[in-house]
Amino acid sequence: MQKNIVLLDLICFVIFPLVVWNVGKDYIGAYYAMLFSSVPGIIYSLYRFYELKRINITGLFIIGNLTIGTLIDVLAGSALQMLWNNVFYDYALATFFLLTIVIKQPMALYFGLDFVELQGQDRTFSKKLFFQKKIFVIFQLITLGFALRNSILAVIKTWLIIEYGTDAFTKGLLFRQAFSWMMAGITVVGYSYISKIINQSPELIEKVKNELNIAK
């Protein structure tokens, strides 16, 4: 599945919504066309959660995000309100990510912890290592990138709604997905840089080992 992730993203979040919108809006209305178009994305997200094989922070975030996103769509009551709800939710997510930075518990760090634990690394050791200043700062920056992504998407969606009304659903859809991929790419670069720092900084690993030994 990992090899086809871009293709699946394209099908579930771009192609299928476009087809459903253009074919279905005249028959079932704009609101229900939007709701129906989100079904593949929901199923796809659930499958990606299943692939994690366990409940962790990343999994809880995926399910929480999916649940809230579905609720605000279903409870919107109209196509236009659904679009505005998604704008508000993007701002809410951006605020959430910023808050994790302020309280010095960046979400990017915990996503990273879940990943390395799935690779067989000790979570306690990895967490101690990730909180070393040299590495921690990068996790803060990655999380800031998450916040910027949602903020920028919210601004784009707002402009599209004001400009096109309910047609904003499809206007710029491919651009928004491409932007999300670009930000995901930047995130991967950030995590790769952290891995590089760890590999080139054996003194950090020794420091953490010593600290954990002292704690014991």
How many Cβ atoms are within 10 Å of 38's Cβ, its own excluded? 20
Distance CA(43)–CA(174), nearest Å, equals 20
pLDDT given for residue 216 in this prediction: 46
How many Cβ atoms are within 10 Å of 122's Cβ, its own excluded? 12
pLDDT given for residue 85 in this prediction: 93
pLDDT given for residue 23 in this prediction: 66
Write out the chain's pLDDT in tens, 216 residues: 444 555 665 566 656 666 765 666 656 666 666 667 667 767 766 776 666 556 678 877 877 887 888 888 888 888 889 899 999 999 999 999 999 999 999 999 999 998 888 788 888 899 999 999 999 999 999 999 999 999 999 999 999 999 988 887 777 677 777 887 888 888 889 999 999 999 998 888 888 888 887 554
Distance CA(192)–CA(214), nearest Å, equals 30
**157 class by beta-carbon count within 10 Å (0-12 exposed, 13-18 middle, 19+ buried):** buried
Among 14, 132, 31, CA closest to 76: 31
pLDDT given for residue 53 in this prediction: 58
Kindly report the pTM of this predicted structure.
0.79
DSSP letter for each residue of 148-186: HHHHHHHHHHHHHHHHHGGGGGTTTHHHHHHHHHHHHHH
Which tokens sit at 151?
């903020």
pLDDT given for residue 2 in this prediction: 46
Which tokens sit at 55?
């409940």
pLDDT given for residue 205 in this prediction: 87
Kindly give, in sequence order, each residue whose CB lies less than 8 Å from that of residue 153, ignoring residues fewer than 6 positions away: 90, 176, 179, 180
Kindly give, in sequence order, each residue whose CB lies less than 8 Å from that of residue 10, ignoring residues fewer than 6 positions away: 177
CA 24 to chain centre: 28
The ranges assigned to domains in the chain are 2-215
pLDDT given for residue 29 in this prediction: 65
Cβ atoms 47, 101 nearer than 8 A: no
